[in-house]
Chain A
């Protein structure tokens, strides 16, 4: 029976992208957003030993660089409003002269991530992998208003819905 494992990886050094996102959001009118955190979010579907997988995956430099990343195997429950951003599936890639698997783009929708982990890094028990960006916004508002603000922030800055999709989690 496949198991689903979530993993979030964030910078433990200052995150310039999150800082810039916060400053830009405030400049374009989102005064109630007081802090922004950004993490890489992974969801793996595996067969076999969960503990063994977790012990190995956190040692892969392409996912966790111990010098600058902190990680956890769950999304932290806190007072922030979280936005999960994924790339939408590409519907129509052109035929290539030499049909082959898509070359890995570890920063894309994760479809290449499985190939890297399985074929290059030895994770034979991975069935599926997804990669997304998890934004955590600290918003000075009640839950309902915070959700509205987060959706607006997503549409106005954090997401381009022409190739990405998002959900408030």
Chain B
């Protein structure tokens, strides 16, 4: 069977494209870093990763200029055809600013607003835990993630607070099962307070998928938690393999998002 071929879309100012591509390749897919202004051939890819960084220097606000880029017209169209689109951090911000997430009304329905953090001003990076809210297979990225699975994963952002002025929206997202990951303790307990919720996100939301399930905006960085060696020492899984160079290259739990993307393409699109 042909391997899924994923485009990692690189905007000027992104800095996570290489690592995102590495995670794509490590999960058995083919992939390529594709510049934002490539005119032709975008639609030939089987899926898309919009990586993290500071596209267009976050001018005006994070993700908004990238969201207006012509390449997003193509990505939207391909997403409507069922192709998976994973927006990570700055990529998540762009997906929210172009309305693809949550994608209920074809307009901007949410914001990824500046962090509300009682101790750290602005940009904040740390390791957190996210808990899976939905049953396996709810979206293209959770075919190997059971409900209540807890994944260690890093965040690194200044504008990661999911929020909305539409008071009914969160209820709709819960009803539609679009809230995929929430910030939790390492035991899976949802605590709204800092540091469990690192940025004040409403309902502790860390990742939201589209209603169809093939598009996901995720603030934490799964590409930075795809190998055991990337995990910090506070994670028990890492400690089991300390000193074992071979095991350090093994997949970490966040790799499952990319394995799932592969399975989704193979089962749904090929």
Contacts and interface: CB of A to CB of B under 8 A. Distances in A.
A90 B200 contact: yes
A93 B118 CA distance: 10
Given A90-B200, A158-B60, A160-B97, A97 B122 contact: no
Interface in A93-107: 93-98, 100, 102-107
A141 B129 CA distance: 52
Nearest to A20: B59
Contacts of A20: 56, 59-60, 65
Interface in A70-104: 87-88, 90, 92-98, 100, 102-104
A157 interface: yes
Contacts of A157: 60, 64, 68
Nearest to A98: B118
B100 to A, nearest CB: 15
A94 B165 CA distance: 17
Interface string B113-138: 11011111110000000000000000
Contacts of B193: 94-97
A16 interface: yes
Interface in B25-63: 56-57, 59-61
B59 A162 contact: no
B217 interface: no
Contacts of B110: 162
B113 A163 contact: yes
Contacts of A90: 116, 200
B203 to A, nearest CB: 11
Contacts of B116: 90, 93, 102
B68 A28 contact: yes
A93 B56 CA distance: 30
A107 B64 contact: no
Given A103-B117, A163-B113, A17 B59 contact: yes
Interface residues of A, number: 33
Contacts of B192: 94-95
Interface residues of B, number: 33
Given A90-B200, A94-B193, A21 B60 contact: yes
Contacts of B173: none
Determine which residue in B109, B110, B122, B161 has the highest number of CB atoms from chain A within 10 A of its CB, and name it: B122
A108 interface: yes
Contacts of B109: 162
Contacts of A161: 165
A139 B148 CA distance: 53
A27 B121 contact: no
B165 A162 contact: yes
B114 to A, nearest CB: 6
B178 interface: no
Given A20-B65, A157-B60, A103 B121 contact: yes
Contacts of A160: 61, 64, 97, 108, 111, 113
Going nearest first, the 4 A-B pairs with the smallest beta carbon separation are A162-B111, A163-B113, A94-B192, A17-B59
23 contacts: A16-B59, A20-B56, A24-B65, A27-B68, A28-B68, A87-B114, A90-B116, A90-B200, A92-B202, A93-B200, A94-B200, A97-B193, A103-B117, A103-B120, A105-B114, A105-B122, A157-B68, A158-B60, A160-B61, A160-B108, A162-B108, A162-B163, A163-B111
Interface of A: 16-17, 20-21, 24, 27-28, 87-88, 90, 92-98, 100, 102-108, 112, 157-158, 160-164
